[in-house]
Protein backbone atom coordinates (compact mmCIF):
# COMPACT_ATOMS: atom_id res chain seq x y z
CA UNK A 1 0.00 0.00 0.00
CA UNK A 2 1.46 3.35 -1.06
CA UNK A 3 1.84 6.22 1.39
CA UNK A 4 -0.67 8.39 -0.44
CA UNK A 5 -3.20 5.55 -0.29
CA UNK A 6 -3.34 5.86 3.49
CA UNK A 7 -4.04 9.60 3.21
CA UNK A 8 -6.95 9.00 0.85
CA UNK A 9 -8.04 6.02 2.90
CA UNK A 10 -8.43 8.31 5.91
CA UNK A 11 -10.69 10.61 3.89
CA UNK A 12 -12.93 7.63 3.10
CA UNK A 13 -12.88 6.50 6.74
CA UNK A 14 -13.84 10.00 7.82
CA UNK A 15 -16.78 10.08 5.43
CA UNK A 16 -18.00 6.71 6.67
CA UNK A 17 -17.71 7.53 10.37
CA UNK A 18 -21.10 9.24 10.57
CA UNK A 19 -22.76 7.21 7.80
CA UNK A 20 -26.26 5.87 8.38
CA UNK A 21 -26.45 2.07 8.17
CA UNK A 22 -29.38 0.40 6.45
CA UNK A 23 -30.10 -3.29 6.26
CA UNK A 24 -31.34 -5.29 3.29
CA UNK A 25 -33.83 -6.84 5.71
CA UNK A 26 -35.63 -3.47 5.62
CA UNK A 27 -34.67 -2.50 2.06
CA UNK A 28 -34.50 -5.73 0.04
CA UNK A 29 -34.32 -4.05 -3.40
CA UNK A 30 -31.96 -1.13 -3.95
CA UNK A 31 -31.06 0.89 -7.00
CA UNK A 32 -28.01 3.14 -6.90
CA UNK A 33 -27.69 6.17 -9.14
CA UNK A 34 -25.26 9.09 -9.08
CA UNK A 35 -24.10 12.12 -11.02
CA UNK A 36 -27.44 13.12 -12.50
CA UNK A 37 -26.24 16.74 -12.55
CA UNK A 38 -29.85 17.96 -12.84
CA UNK A 39 -29.59 21.53 -14.07
CA UNK A 40 -31.72 24.52 -14.94
CA UNK A 41 -33.05 23.35 -18.28
CA UNK A 42 -30.65 25.53 -20.26
CA UNK A 43 -28.70 23.90 -23.05
CA UNK A 44 -25.69 23.27 -20.82
CA UNK A 45 -27.99 21.21 -18.55
CA UNK A 46 -26.30 17.83 -19.21
CA UNK A 47 -29.20 15.99 -17.58
CA UNK A 48 -31.75 17.30 -20.07
CA UNK A 49 -30.70 14.88 -22.85
CA UNK A 50 -31.52 11.83 -20.76
CA UNK A 51 -34.44 13.19 -18.79
CA UNK A 52 -37.04 10.93 -20.44
CA UNK A 53 -34.87 7.83 -19.99
CA UNK A 54 -34.29 8.70 -16.33
CA UNK A 55 -37.99 9.33 -15.80
CA UNK A 56 -38.86 5.93 -17.28
CA UNK A 57 -36.23 4.18 -15.15
CA UNK A 58 -37.49 5.86 -11.98
CA UNK A 59 -41.05 4.80 -12.78
CA UNK A 60 -39.88 1.20 -13.22
CA UNK A 61 -37.97 1.17 -9.94
CA UNK A 62 -40.84 2.72 -8.03
CA UNK A 63 -43.36 0.21 -9.36
CA UNK A 64 -40.99 -2.70 -8.64
CA UNK A 65 -40.53 -1.73 -5.00
CA UNK A 66 -36.94 -0.51 -5.17
CA UNK A 67 -35.36 1.96 -2.77
CA UNK A 68 -33.66 4.81 -4.64
CA UNK A 69 -30.17 5.73 -3.46
CA UNK A 70 -28.33 8.68 -5.06
CA UNK A 71 -24.56 8.75 -4.57
CA UNK A 72 -24.03 12.48 -4.95
CA UNK A 73 -23.88 15.14 -7.66
CA UNK A 74 -27.60 14.66 -8.20
CA UNK A 75 -28.00 18.36 -8.77
CA UNK A 76 -25.63 20.70 -10.57
CA UNK A 77 -25.12 23.35 -7.91
CA UNK A 78 -21.76 24.62 -9.11
CA UNK A 79 -22.99 25.91 -12.44
CA UNK A 80 -26.31 26.90 -10.85
CA UNK A 81 -26.62 28.76 -7.59
CA UNK A 82 -30.18 28.03 -6.60
CA UNK A 83 -31.53 24.57 -5.92
CA UNK A 84 -35.08 25.92 -6.16
CA UNK A 85 -34.47 26.80 -9.85
CA UNK A 86 -33.56 23.16 -10.59
CA UNK A 87 -36.48 21.86 -8.55
CA UNK A 88 -38.82 24.13 -10.49
CA UNK A 89 -37.61 23.28 -13.99
CA UNK A 90 -37.59 19.53 -13.26
CA UNK A 91 -40.80 19.49 -11.21
CA UNK A 92 -41.91 16.18 -12.75
CA UNK A 93 -38.65 14.49 -11.70
CA UNK A 94 -38.79 15.82 -8.16
CA UNK A 95 -42.39 14.66 -7.91
CA UNK A 96 -41.17 11.12 -8.72
CA UNK A 97 -38.38 11.39 -6.15
CA UNK A 98 -40.93 12.64 -3.65
CA UNK A 99 -42.97 9.45 -4.15
CA UNK A 100 -39.92 7.44 -3.08
CA UNK A 101 -39.43 9.77 -0.11
CA UNK A 102 -43.04 9.43 1.02
CA UNK A 103 -42.74 5.63 0.77
CA UNK A 104 -39.59 5.81 2.96
CA UNK A 105 -37.52 4.52 0.04
CA UNK A 106 -35.18 7.43 -0.71
CA UNK A 107 -31.58 8.01 0.42
CA UNK A 108 -29.51 10.92 -0.80
CA UNK A 109 -25.78 11.45 -0.55
CA UNK A 110 -24.13 14.71 -1.49
CA UNK A 111 -21.10 15.03 -3.76
CA UNK A 112 -18.77 17.87 -4.62
CA UNK A 113 -21.24 19.55 -6.98
CA UNK A 114 -24.08 19.50 -4.46
CA UNK A 115 -22.11 19.76 -1.25
CA UNK A 116 -24.36 22.61 -0.11
CA UNK A 117 -26.97 19.92 0.62
CA UNK A 118 -24.83 19.07 3.67
CA UNK A 119 -25.65 22.41 5.26
CA UNK A 120 -28.17 22.33 8.06
CA UNK A 121 -29.99 25.28 6.50
CA UNK A 122 -30.52 23.42 3.23
CA UNK A 123 -34.24 22.94 2.60
CA UNK A 124 -36.11 21.01 -0.04
CA UNK A 125 -39.71 19.94 -0.06
CA UNK A 126 -38.99 16.75 -2.02
CA UNK A 127 -35.62 15.55 -0.72
CA UNK A 128 -34.78 13.90 2.59
CA UNK A 129 -31.76 15.08 4.64
CA UNK A 130 -28.58 14.21 2.72
CA UNK A 131 -25.56 12.36 4.12
CA UNK A 132 -21.96 12.05 2.96
CA UNK A 133 -21.97 8.27 2.98
CA UNK A 134 -24.27 5.30 3.50
CA UNK A 135 -23.56 1.72 4.55
CA UNK A 136 -25.66 -1.17 3.33
CA UNK A 137 -25.53 -4.15 5.65
CA UNK A 138 -26.34 -7.64 4.42
CA UNK A 139 -27.12 -9.70 7.51
CA UNK A 140 -25.13 -12.90 7.95
CA UNK A 141 -26.67 -15.82 6.15
CA UNK A 142 -27.94 -18.91 7.92
CA UNK A 143 -24.55 -20.54 7.26
CA UNK A 144 -23.10 -18.24 9.92
CA UNK A 145 -20.82 -16.08 7.76
CA UNK A 146 -20.11 -12.50 8.84
CA UNK A 147 -22.25 -9.57 7.79
CA UNK A 148 -21.26 -8.13 4.45
CA UNK A 149 -21.08 -4.37 4.15
CA UNK A 150 -21.21 -2.19 1.06
CA UNK A 151 -19.79 1.29 1.71
CA UNK A 152 -21.31 4.01 -0.45
CA UNK A 153 -19.64 7.38 -1.01
CA UNK A 154 -19.63 9.90 -3.84
CA UNK A 155 -15.89 9.54 -4.50
CA UNK A 156 -14.60 13.13 -4.38
CA UNK A 157 -13.10 12.16 -1.01
CA UNK A 158 -10.11 10.77 -2.92
CA UNK A 159 -9.87 13.77 -5.23
CA UNK A 160 -7.99 16.65 -3.54
CA UNK A 161 -9.07 19.41 -5.92
CA UNK A 162 -12.70 18.45 -5.48
CA UNK A 163 -12.54 17.82 -1.73
CA UNK A 164 -10.27 20.03 0.42
CA UNK A 165 -10.02 22.60 -2.38
CA UNK A 166 -13.64 22.32 -3.44
CA UNK A 167 -14.25 26.06 -3.25
CA UNK A 168 -11.44 26.66 -5.74
CA UNK A 169 -12.81 23.86 -7.93
CA UNK A 170 -16.29 25.36 -7.79
CA UNK A 171 -14.88 28.76 -8.66
CA UNK A 172 -13.13 27.25 -11.69
CA UNK A 173 -16.34 25.56 -12.83
CA UNK A 174 -18.50 28.59 -12.25
CA UNK A 175 -16.26 31.23 -13.76
CA UNK A 176 -13.84 29.46 -16.11
CA UNK A 177 -15.11 26.09 -17.34
CA UNK A 178 -18.80 26.99 -17.59
CA UNK A 179 -18.13 29.91 -20.00
CA UNK A 180 -15.62 27.73 -21.86
CA UNK A 181 -18.14 24.88 -22.02
CA UNK A 182 -20.64 27.27 -23.54
CA UNK A 183 -17.97 27.98 -26.15
CA UNK A 184 -17.50 24.25 -26.74
CA UNK A 185 -14.37 23.63 -24.64
CA UNK A 186 -14.53 20.90 -21.99
CA UNK A 187 -13.26 21.21 -18.39
CA UNK A 188 -9.89 19.37 -18.35
CA UNK A 189 -9.77 18.99 -14.52
CA UNK A 190 -13.02 17.04 -14.35
CA UNK A 191 -12.57 13.37 -13.44
CA UNK A 192 -15.61 12.76 -15.60
CA UNK A 193 -13.71 13.80 -18.72
CA UNK A 194 -10.22 12.69 -17.92
CA UNK A 195 -9.43 9.01 -18.36
CA UNK A 196 -6.08 8.84 -16.56
CA UNK A 197 -7.37 10.90 -13.63
CA UNK A 198 -10.36 8.55 -13.30
CA UNK A 199 -8.01 5.58 -13.21
CA UNK A 200 -6.03 7.09 -10.36
CA UNK A 201 -9.22 7.70 -8.38
CA UNK A 202 -10.42 4.16 -9.08
CA UNK A 203 -7.10 2.80 -7.83
CA UNK A 204 -7.29 4.82 -4.63
CA UNK A 205 -10.77 3.55 -3.87
CA UNK A 206 -10.02 -0.07 -4.72
CA UNK A 207 -6.80 0.02 -2.64
CA UNK A 208 -8.87 1.14 0.31
CA UNK A 209 -11.41 -1.64 -0.27
CA UNK A 210 -8.65 -4.23 -0.54
CA UNK A 211 -6.81 -2.98 2.56
CA UNK A 212 -10.02 -3.06 4.59
CA UNK A 213 -11.34 -6.26 3.07
CA UNK A 214 -14.64 -4.62 2.24
CA UNK A 215 -16.75 -3.32 -0.64
CA UNK A 216 -17.01 0.21 -1.98
CA UNK A 217 -19.47 1.75 -4.43
CA UNK A 218 -18.93 5.29 -5.68
CA UNK A 219 -19.81 7.70 -8.46
CA UNK A 220 -17.89 10.88 -9.36
CA UNK A 221 -15.71 9.44 -12.17
CA UNK A 222 -18.75 8.86 -14.42
CA UNK A 223 -17.14 5.52 -15.35
CA UNK A 224 -19.53 2.65 -14.62
CA UNK A 225 -17.79 -0.37 -13.13
CA UNK A 226 -18.59 -3.65 -11.47
CA UNK A 227 -15.42 -5.31 -10.32
CA UNK A 228 -15.44 -8.98 -9.46
CA UNK A 229 -15.48 -9.64 -5.73
CA UNK A 230 -11.83 -10.63 -5.28
CA UNK A 231 -11.81 -12.48 -2.02
CA UNK A 232 -13.93 -10.21 0.15
CA UNK A 233 -13.49 -6.85 -1.46
CA UNK A 234 -14.66 -5.06 -4.59
CA UNK A 235 -14.94 -1.65 -6.23
CA UNK A 236 -18.01 -0.65 -8.21
CA UNK A 237 -19.19 2.59 -9.77
CA UNK A 238 -22.70 3.71 -10.71
CA UNK A 239 -21.48 5.75 -13.71
CA UNK A 240 -23.76 8.72 -14.39
CA UNK A 241 -26.98 9.96 -15.93
CA UNK A 242 -25.15 12.30 -18.30
CA UNK A 243 -23.61 9.86 -20.78
CA UNK A 244 -24.44 11.05 -24.32
CA UNK A 245 -27.57 8.87 -24.71
CA UNK A 246 -27.59 6.49 -21.77
CA UNK A 247 -27.93 6.42 -18.02
CA UNK A 248 -26.27 3.78 -15.86
CA UNK A 249 -27.05 2.47 -12.38
CA UNK A 250 -26.48 -0.46 -10.05
CA UNK A 251 -29.21 -2.80 -8.82
CA UNK A 252 -28.80 -4.77 -5.60
CA UNK A 253 -31.33 -7.45 -4.66
CA UNK A 254 -31.65 -11.17 -3.93
CA UNK A 255 -27.98 -11.40 -2.97
CA UNK A 256 -26.83 -10.12 -6.37
CA UNK A 257 -25.37 -6.90 -7.73
CA UNK A 258 -25.87 -5.90 -11.38
CA UNK A 259 -24.65 -3.01 -13.51
CA UNK A 260 -27.47 -1.67 -15.67
CA UNK A 261 -27.92 0.82 -18.47
CA UNK A 262 -31.12 2.41 -19.69
CA UNK A 263 -31.38 3.78 -23.22
CA UNK A 264 -33.83 4.40 -26.01
CA UNK A 265 -34.46 1.47 -28.34
CA UNK A 266 -36.68 0.89 -31.37
CA UNK A 267 -38.81 -2.21 -31.87
CA UNK A 268 -39.56 -3.96 -35.18
CA UNK A 269 -42.49 -1.58 -35.75
CA UNK A 270 -40.18 1.42 -35.38
CA UNK A 271 -41.73 2.41 -32.05
CA UNK A 272 -39.27 3.96 -29.66
CA UNK A 273 -39.15 2.59 -26.12
CA UNK A 274 -36.94 3.01 -23.10
CA UNK A 275 -35.08 -0.24 -22.48
CA UNK A 276 -33.17 -1.73 -19.58
CA UNK A 277 -29.95 -3.59 -20.42
CA UNK A 278 -27.55 -5.52 -18.23
CA UNK A 279 -23.97 -4.28 -18.76
CA UNK A 280 -22.27 -6.52 -16.23
CA UNK A 281 -23.32 -9.18 -13.75
CA UNK A 282 -25.35 -10.21 -11.97
CA UNK A 283 -22.70 -11.33 -9.55
CA UNK A 284 -22.96 -12.55 -5.98
CA UNK A 285 -22.50 -9.95 -3.27
Q: Does 220 bind Mn ion (CB under 5 A)?
A: yes
User: According to the binding rule CB under 5 A, does residue 39 interact with Mn ion?
Assistant: no
Report if residue 79 touches Mn ion, rule: CB under 5 A.
no
Residue number with CB closer to Mn ion (45 or 73): 73
Question: Considering the complex, what minimum distance in angstroms separates the CB of residue 26 from Mn ion?
Answer: 28
Question: Which residues does 81 contact at the CB level (< 8 Å), separation at least 6?
Answer: none
Quick one: 9 or 74, whose CB is closer to Mn ion? 74
Of 38 and 220, CB closest to Mn ion: 220
**Shortest Cβ 137–Mn ion spacing (Å):** 25
Note the Cα 132 to chain centre separation in Å: 12
Indicate the residue among 204 and 220 with the shorter CB distance to Mn ion.
220
- The answer to whether 36 touches 47, Cβ cutoff 8 Å, is yes
Span from 67-75, 121-129, 193-201, 250-258 in contact with Mn ion (CB under 5 A): 67-75
User: Is residue 112 a contact point for Mn ion (CB under 5 A)?
Assistant: yes
Give the C-alpha separation, 10 to 219, whole Å: 18
Sign of CA dihedral 42, 43, 46, 49: positive
Is residue 190 a contact point for Mn ion (CB under 5 A)? no
Rounded Cα gap, residues 81 and 97, in angstroms = 21
In the three-class reduction of DSSP (H, G, I as helix; E, B as strand; rest coil), residue 143 is classed as coil
If the CB atoms of residues 133 and 148 are measured against Mn ion, the closer one turns out to be 133
Binding-site size for Mn ion (CB under 5 A) equals 4
Strands 29-33 and 106-109: unpaired
The phi, psi pair for 124, rounded to 5°, reads: -145, 140
Please tell me whether residue 45 binds Mn ion under the rule CB under 5 A: no
Q: How far is the CB of 209 from Mn ion (least distance, A)?
A: 19
Identify the DSSP state of 34.
-
Q: Is 21 left (phi over 0), alpha (psi -120 to 50) or beta?
A: beta
Query: Which of the residues 92 through 111 are near Mn ion (CB under 5 A)?
Result: 111
Tell me if 38 contacts Mn ion by CB under 5 A: no
Site residues, Mn ion (CB under 5 A): 73, 111-112, 220
Amino acid sequence: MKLTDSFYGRQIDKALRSAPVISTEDFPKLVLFSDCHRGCGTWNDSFLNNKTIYEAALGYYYEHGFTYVELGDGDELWENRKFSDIEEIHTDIFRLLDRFRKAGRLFMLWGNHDRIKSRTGFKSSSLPPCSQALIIRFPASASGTDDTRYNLIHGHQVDILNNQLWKAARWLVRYIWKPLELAGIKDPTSAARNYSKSRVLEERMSSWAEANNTHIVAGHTHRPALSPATGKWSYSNTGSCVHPDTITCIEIHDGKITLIKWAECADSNQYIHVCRYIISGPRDL
